[in-house]
Amino acid sequence: MSPRHPGDAGFETRAIHAGQEPDPSTGAVVAPISLATTFAQDAVGEHRGFEYGRTGNPTRAALETCVAALEDAAHGLAFASGMAAEDAVLRALVRPGDHVVLPNDAYGGTYRLVARVLAETGVEWSAVDLTDPVALGEACRDSTKVVWIETPTNPLLTVVDIEAVSRAAHERGARVVVDNTFATPYLQQPLSLGADVVVHSSTKYLGGHSDVVGGMVLTDEDGLAESIAFLQNAVGAVPSPFDCFLVLRGVKTLGVRMDRHCSNARGVADLLVDHPAVERVLWPGLPDHPGHDVARRQMRHFGGMVSFLAAGGEQAALALVAKTQLFTLAESLGAVESLIEHPARMTHASAADSPLAVDPALVRLSVGIESLDDLLDDLGHALDAVT
Across-strand partners of 309? 280, 362
Distance CA 236, CA 87 (A): 12
Q: Is 103 in the site for ligand PLP (CB under 6 A)?
A: no
Could you tell me the smallest distance in angstroms from the CB atom of residue 182 to ligand PLP?
A: 6
**Which residues lie below 8 Å from residue 247, measured CB to CB, with a gap of 6+?**
63, 67, 78, 202, 206, 207, 212, 214, 239
| Residue 213 binds ligand PLP, judged by CB under 6 A | yes
Tell me the closest approach of the beta carbon of residue 6 to ligand PLP, in angstroms. Answer: 24
Residue pair 76/218 in contact (Cβ under 8 Å)? The answer is yes
Q: How far is residue 67's CA from residue 194's CA, in Å, rounded to a whole number?
A: 18
CB 306 within 8 A of CB 283: yes
Cα 245-10-304 angle, rounded to 5 deg: 65
Residues 6+ positions from 73 with CB-CB distance below 8 Å: 67, 191, 198, 218, 219, 220
**Whose Cβ is closer to ligand PLP: residue 316's or residue 344's?**
344
Which residue type does 225 have? Answer: A
Rounded to a whole number of angstroms, the minimum distance from the CB of residue 81 to ligand PLP is: 3
Which residue, 212, 261, 242, is CA-closest to 82? Answer: 212
**Which of 59, 151, 158, 181 is close enough to bind ligand PLP by CB under 6 A?**
181
Shortest Å distance, C-beta 252 to ligand PLP: 20
Task: Please report, as a single letter, which amino acid is at residue 320.
Answer: L
* Residue of 203, 219, 298, 307 interacting with ligand PLP (CB under 6 A): 203
What residues have CB less than 8 Å from 117, skipping those under 6 apart? 87
- CB–CB of 20/68 below 8 Å? no
Is residue 52 annotated as part of the catalytic site, yes or no? no
Strands 197-201 and 175-179: parallel
Q: Where are the alpha helices (DSSP H) in 152-192?
A: 162-171, 184-187
For residue 111, indicate whether it is catalytic.
no
Among 14-22, 42-50, 174-182, 250-258, the segment contacting ligand PLP (CB under 6 A)? 174-182
- Which position among 105, 179, 243, 378 bears the catalytic label? 179
111 lines the binding site for ligand PLP (CB under 6 A): no
Binds ligand PLP (CB under 6 A): choice among 65, 154, 166, 338? 154
Cβ 343 to ligand PLP shortest distance, Å: 10
Q: Which is nearer to ligand PLP, 59 or 201 (CB)?
A: 201
As beta bridge partners, residue 339 has 328, 366
Per-position x/- string for 50-89, each x denoting binding to ligand PLP as judged by CB under 6 A, each - no binding: -------------------------------xxx------
Q: Tell me how far, at minimum, the Cβ of 38 lies from ligand PLP, in Å.
A: 28
Q: Is 204 a catalytic residue?
A: yes
In the complex, the smallest distance separating the C-beta of residue 199 from ligand PLP, rounded to whole angstroms, is 7
Decide if 54 is catalytic: yes
Where do the H-state alpha helices sit in 275-356? Answer: 292-298, 313-321
Nearest to 342, CA basis, from 362, 315, 372: 362
> Between residues 34 and 81, which has the closer beta carbon with respect to ligand PLP?
81
The b-or-e profile of 323-358 (16+ CB within 10 A means b, else e) is bbebbeebeebbbeebbbbbbbebbbebbeebebbb
The stretch near ligand PLP (CB under 6 A) out of 44-52, 179-187, 269-277, 307-315 is 179-187
Q: Is 105 in the site for ligand PLP (CB under 6 A)?
A: no
Nearer to ligand PLP (CB atom), residue 6 or residue 103: 103
Is 179 a binder of ligand PLP (CB under 6 A)? yes
Q: CB of 361 within 8 A of CB of 345?
A: no
Number of residues that bind ligand PLP (CB under 6 A): 14
Nearer to ligand PLP, 64 or 179 (CB): 179
Interacting positions 309-348 with ligand PLP (CB under 6 A): none
User: Does residue 151 interact with ligand PLP by CB under 6 A?
Assistant: no
Kindly state whether residue 201 participates in binding ligand PLP, applying the rule CB under 6 A. Answer: yes
Question: What is the number of the residue whose Cβ is closest to ligand PLP?
Answer: 82
Binding residues vs ligand PLP (CB under 6 A): 81-83, 107, 109, 150, 154, 179, 181-182, 201, 203, 213, 215
Residues with active-site annotation: 54, 107, 179, 204
